[in-house]
């Protein structure tokens, strides 16, 4: 597994490098003291994982993740725990607090490996999902889903049958949805294109719900809608 390390603290960065060196399946291809340097490196190279600090000058770890390619996994390594909720909204694989214990580091790497080996469902052959609600499974057709919202370790599915909260991440939901019908417009929102009533001023409207569009997602959204100029 190829990784890079992004941490402005020299001592912490060296400590992470040593953990990577000890892990038999890890290969560090770059170590950087700033988010800008890390992103510049990834313009010409690719990696499976970024080991990322949050509190850094000029570009924070959260800003770094907003610009990072979606297919690259992230493990946050921070001296503070209060950024965990914001980090998990980016679907990070794990959140480690400094100082790092090697056993805990290995567990985080195993999480990434498990995510990598998940079988991606060919959602184009399905037109429904079964969602566990209380003690039963409720069938929801994809066309009934209006939008999906991230809630830390859970996702909230807003549908014509009501709102359902289930354990999962936005990344896992994307693998189960037809990419021709659904698009991620923000780190916290996936929308059903067919349920959008209007797009304006950096938002989409779905019924009475006003959902933000991130700058990085706007182009993808506009490419997917049937736009008449």
Domain ranges of the chain: 2-116, 123-224
Question: How many C-beta neighbours within 10 Å does residue 22 have?
Answer: 11
CA distances, 32 to each of 2, 29, 37, 74, 148 (Å): 15, 10, 6, 15, 35
pTM: 0.56
Whether the predicted pLDDT of 106 surpasses 90: yes
Judge contact between 105 and 168, C-beta under 8 A. no
Whether the predicted pLDDT of 52 surpasses 90: yes
* DSSP-assigned letter for residue 228: -
Q: In the prediction, which pLDDT does 135 show?
A: 73
Q: 102-116 and 10-22 helices cross at what angle (nearest 10)?
A: 70
- The reply to whether omega before 99 is within 30° of 0 (cis) is yes
- Mean pLDDT across 67-81: 88
Q: In the prediction, which pLDDT does 228 show?
A: 57
Q: 2-116 adopts what CATH topology?
A: Rossmann fold (3.40.50)
Annotate 168-189 with b (16+ C-beta within 10 A) or e (fewer).
bbbbebbeebbeebbbbbbbbb
More confident position, 175 or 24: 24
The Cα 52–Cα 64 span in angstroms is 9
Binning pLDDT at 50, 70 and 90, where does residue 126 land?
low
CATH code for 123-224?
Answer: 2.40.50.1020
Please tell me if the domain spanning 2-116 has the same topology as the one spanning 123-224.
no
């Amino acid at each position: 597994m190829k990784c890079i390390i992004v941490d402005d603290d020299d001592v912490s960065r060296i400590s992470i490098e040593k953990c990577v060196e000890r892990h038999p399946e890890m290969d560090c291809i770059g170590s950087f003291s700033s988010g800008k340097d890390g992103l510049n490196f990834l313009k010409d190279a690719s990696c499976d994982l970024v080991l990322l600090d949050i509190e850094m000058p000029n570009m924070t770890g959260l800003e770094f993740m907003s610009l990072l390619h979606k297919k690259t996994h992230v493990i946050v390594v921070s001296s503070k725990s209060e950024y965990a909720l914001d980090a998990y909204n980016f679907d990070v694989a794990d959140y480690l607090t400094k100082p790092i214990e090697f056993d805990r580091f290995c567990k985080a790497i195993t999480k990434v490996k498990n995510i990598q080996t998940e079988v991606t469902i060919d959602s184009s052959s399905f037109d429904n999902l079964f969602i566990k609600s209380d003690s039963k499974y409720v069938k929801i057709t994809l066309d009934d889903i209006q939008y999906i919202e991230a809630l830390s370790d859970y996702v909230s599915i807003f549908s014509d049958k009501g709102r359902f909260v289930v354990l999962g991440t936005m990344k896992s939901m994307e693998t189960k949805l037809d990419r021709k019908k659904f698009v991620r417009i923000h780190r916290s929102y996936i929308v059903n294109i067919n349920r959008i009533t209007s797009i304006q001023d950096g938002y989409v409207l779905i019924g009475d719900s006003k959902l933000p569009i991130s700058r990085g997602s706007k182009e993808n959204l506009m490419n997917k809608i049937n736009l008449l100029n």
